[in-house]
Amino acid sequence: MFSWLEKSVSTCLGPLKKCAGMDDDHDLEMDDDALIWSNDLGMHSHGEFSFAVAQANAALEDHSQVETGPPATFVGVYDGHGGPNAAIHISNHLFQHLLGQFGNNPLIAAIGSCCLVGVICGGTLYVANLGDSRAVMGCLEGSDKIVAVPLTNDHNAKEQAVRRELRNLHHDDANIVVKKKGVYRVKGIIQVSRAIGDFYLKNPQFALDESFPRFHLTEPLQGPVLSAEPAITTRNLQSNDKFIIFASDGLWEYLTNKEAVEIVHKNPRLGIAKRLLMMAMKKAAKRTKRPYNDIKILPAGGERRKVHDDITIVVIFIDPANASHHEISVRGFDNNVGASNFTF
C-alpha cells in the first residue's frame, strides 16, 4: 500500500548513506560528515526535488520542509537566530496555518527566524519572504543558456536599499542602523530587517534588561524596528522556467545566483542540492585556509560555526512529466519521509 513511500525512502537512505550514481570526489568527501543530510531526489506535484542541509550551530537553527500533494507543492526554509525555537515552531505550524489549522503562538522574546516559503499550485508560483533566505529561478534562454532570475530580495542591513528603507521609516532614530566591525546591523544588534519572532525589537513589553547584553537596547524602544510583513511574489510559470533554488543565506554567502543556477543546469539532478552544498563548504574551507577533511570532523558549534553557518538548500525542478500524485512530507535533517496531510 505504501510502495510510493518506500520508493521515496529508497531514493536516499539518510545523511550518511550515498545514493547510487553519486561517486565523484566531493560526494565521497561528504559521506562521513555527520553534520550533512540529504534527500538526493524525490518527487513533488510538479516534478522532482533535491534537498540538503549542513549543520554548524550546536543546535541546528535551520529548519525546512517539502510538502506535496496532488494539487500543489509547499517549500519552507526557516533560518533561525538566537536559538532554534522560532524556526522549529514555524516548521511545526506554518504549513498547518496555511491549511487553516494553526494553534496558539508562544511568546518568544529574543529568538526569531527568517522565513522563505514557496507554493506551486496549478501553473502559478507564489513566494513569500522575510529575511535573507533567497529563492532563485533558473530560466532557459535559447537551447542551452540558463539565466538566474531572483524571486526575492534580501531583507538585510548590508543592502543599501534596506538601510535606506529603515532610515526612511525611522527618521527620528539616528541609531536605527549601526555599523559595527564593518557590518551594518539594525540597532547595532541584528542584520535582518524582517523576521518572525524577535519581539524585543517589536514591542517594549518584551524589552530585555542588561542581564541579556546581546539583546539589550541602550535606549527604550519607541516602536517596532523589525517588520514581520513578507514580500510576496507571484509568477505564472512558463515553459522555460526549469527549476527554483530555495536556500538559507548560508549558501548565498558563498555562491552567486548565477553560479548556483549554472551548477544545477550543468549537472545531474540526483544529489544536486548536495552538490551545491559541497561547493559552498569548499569555499568556506578555502576562506579559512583549511582543507574540508579537517573541517568535517569538527563537532557542531564552536569551531565549526566559525567556518560556516547552517545551510539549507531545496532545488525544485518544474517538470510535470516526473510529478508525484501522492502526499509526501520531508523535513530537513530528518530521515523520515512520511505522508503529508496536504489538502489544499
For residue 64, the model assigns a pLDDT of 94
- The pLDDT score that the predictor gives to residue 100 is 59
| Class of the CATH-defined domain 3-105+114-153+234-339 | alpha beta
Residue with cell 508560483: 125
Per-residue pLDDT, 178: 94
Q: What is the dihedral of CA 34, 37, 40, 41, to 10 degrees?
A: 150
In this prediction, residue 27 carries a pLDDT of 55
| Residue 80 contacts residue 113 (beta carbons within 8 Å) | yes
Output DSSP code: residue 157: T
Q: What's the pLDDT at 325?
A: 81
Query: What is the rounded CA–CA span in Å between residue 288 and residue 250?
Result: 15
Whether residue 120 contacts residue 237, with contact meaning beta carbons closer than 8 Å, is answered with: yes
pLDDT in the model for residue 89 = 87
**How far apart are the C-alpha atoms of 30 and 48, rounded to whole Å?**
23
Q: Where are the domains of the chain?
A: 3-105+114-153+234-339, 160-191+195-215
Q: How far apart are CA 13 and CA 10, in angstroms?
A: 6
pTM of the model: 0.87
| Predicted local distance difference test score (pLDDT) of residue 228 | 92
Angle at 136 between CA 132 and CA 140, to 5 degrees: 170
Gap between the Cα atoms of 276 and 282, Å rounded: 10
Q: 112 and 197 in contact (C-beta within 8 Å)?
A: yes
Q: Tell me the three state secondary structure of residue 145.
A: strand
pLDDT tens digits for the chain (344 residues)? Answer: 223 333 333 333 233 333 333 345 555 467 789 999 999 999 999 999 999 999 999 999 999 999 998 788 999 999 999 889 889 888 888 877 665 543 543 345 778 999 999 999 988 999 999 999 999 999 999 888 999 999 999 999 999 999 999 999 999 999 999 998 999 999 999 999 999 989 889 988 787 777 777 777 878 888 899 999 999 999 999 999 999 999 999 999 999 999 999 999 999 999 999 999 999 999 999 999 999 999 999 999 999 999 999 999 999 999 988 888 888 899 998 867 777 776 55
Q: Please give the pLDDT value at position 29.
A: 67
Q: Which amino acid is at 246?
A: F
